[in-house]
Amino acid sequence: MTEKEYLQSHSTPASEALQWLERQTHLRTNHARMLSGREQGSLLALISRLAKPACILELGVFTGYSTICLAQGLAPGGTIHAVEINDELEDLIREGYSRAGIEDRVQLHFGDAKQIIPQLDCCFDLVYIDANKREYCDYYRLVFDKVADGGLILADNVLWDGKVLQEPVPQDAQTQGIAAFNDMVAADSRVENFILPVRDGLSVIRKLGPEER
């Protein structure tokens, strides 16, 4: 048995809806590797359950796997705003939400995250950043004042396949975007953070309250 198989066999399995969505994502899209998958999905669900957010913002939905995981922790009456630029994914996203029974708690927005964030008049307890890697710094700046004190910002792919560690750092816009984001968060005295080396790196960032700064 491999380490991965052992870990999977000793962790709570994915729900039927998530297993269905993972299969459909492989069958119906060309970029199934973008899906967060069982390991990271379980972690997102656990973090959300611990935080019990009333309002979540997700940037980069793809087929909706992470929306379903994050929604597991919503407080009663809570809402998740899910933002995706590719509207060709809508049917699959909505079918997954319906199978997971979360369609009443999701507000799905199609468009560029940088245009949509300023239109959302909400105070977010949890934000998940997983859209355009070149624009993580912009998302962080745009959303920061809309995050509650003590709220969480989770950012995926912050190791970017190890490219951010290379010397010199590759000049492609995606690696540069992630590296700049990690530097910005590390230097921001308004937050505390920890990078979990799960999958491609998940940065868990907590916004400090005024009395903690």
DSSP string, 123-188: -EEEEEE-S-GGGHHHHHHHHHTTEEEEEEEEEE-SSGGGGGGSSSPP-SHHHHHHHHHHHHHHT-
Label residue 131 exposed, middle or buried (CB < 10 Å: 0-12, 13-18, 19+). buried
Number of residues that bind ligand SAM (CB under 6 A): 17
Beta carbon nearer to ligand SAM, 17 or 35: 35
Q: Are 152 and 129 in contact (CB under 8 A)?
A: no
Does position 55 interact with ligand SAM (CB under 6 A)? The reply is no
Q: Which residue has the tokens 């230097």?
A: 187
Contact characters 107-126, ligand SAM, x per CB under 6 A: -----xx-------------
Contact characters 56-95, ligand SAM, x per CB under 6 A: ----xxx--xx----------------xxxx---------
Name the one range near ligand SAM by CB under 6 A: 119-127, 129-137, 165-173, 198-206. 129-137
Name the one range near ligand SAM by CB under 6 A: 28-36, 92-100, 117-125, 174-182. 28-36
Does position 22 interact with ligand SAM (CB under 6 A)? The reply is no
C-alpha dihedral over 94, 99, 100, 104, to 10 degrees? 50
Q: Which residues bind ligand SAM (CB under 6 A)?
A: 34-36, 60-62, 65-66, 83-86, 112-113, 130-132
